[in-house]
Amino acid sequence: MSMSVGGGEEGGAIADINTTPLVDVMLVLLIIFLITIPIITKTVKLDLPKAVNIPTQTKPENITVSVAPDGKMYWNGQLVENTRELTDLVKPLALKVPQPEVHIRGDVNTLYKDIGKVIFGIQRGGIIRVGFITEPDRGTPLR
């Protein structure tokens, strides 16, 4: 391994590429990009809703639709065969003033498509106010 330090016996130009300036320039560009990217990123100005934990107020006119893990729907505890039957149950209630709320209780293992079918049936019936019943997060159990 030998190293030639300028002006050796041959006195010619050094044929090796000096990469130090290239690395310096690349580092400066990288720093400039890292600083300017957050400034360039623009988002749409939205007024997002605030999450509020309000206990459910159970009223006698509210309807509860439960969805089991296998996709079966229950209207206030009574089995509903399909979304058409669910829509037929919702239609007379949609004419009331004020409309009752429909609360959907979905099992944690229920598929999203089954919940979507319930929402679709309720919307086709004309109910506007639909809510979801969930359990509060009580933290992870100690083992």
Q: Which residue has the higher pLDDT, 99 or 15?
A: 99
> Which segment of 57-66, 74-83, 133-142 scores lowest on mean pLDDT?
133-142
Cα–Cα distance, 14 to 38 (Å, whole number): 43
Using alpha carbons, select from 47, 53, 119, 105 the residue that is nearest to residue 76.
105
Selecting from 1.10.3470, 1.10.260, 3.30.310, 3.30.420, what CATH number does the domain 63-132 have? Answer: 3.30.420
Most distant CA atoms of the chain, gap in Å? 103
Whole-angstrom Cα distance, residue 112 to residue 125?
Answer: 20
pLDDT-derived band of residue 18, with 50, 70 and 90 as boundaries?
confident
What pLDDT, on the 0 to 100 scale, is given for residue 139? Answer: 55
What pTM, to 2 d.p., does this model score? 0.56
In the prediction, which pLDDT does 117 show? 93
Backbone φ and ψ of 106, nearest 5°: -110, 135
Residue 136's pLDDT is what? 67
pLDDT at 108 over 80: yes
Mean pLDDT of the chain: 80
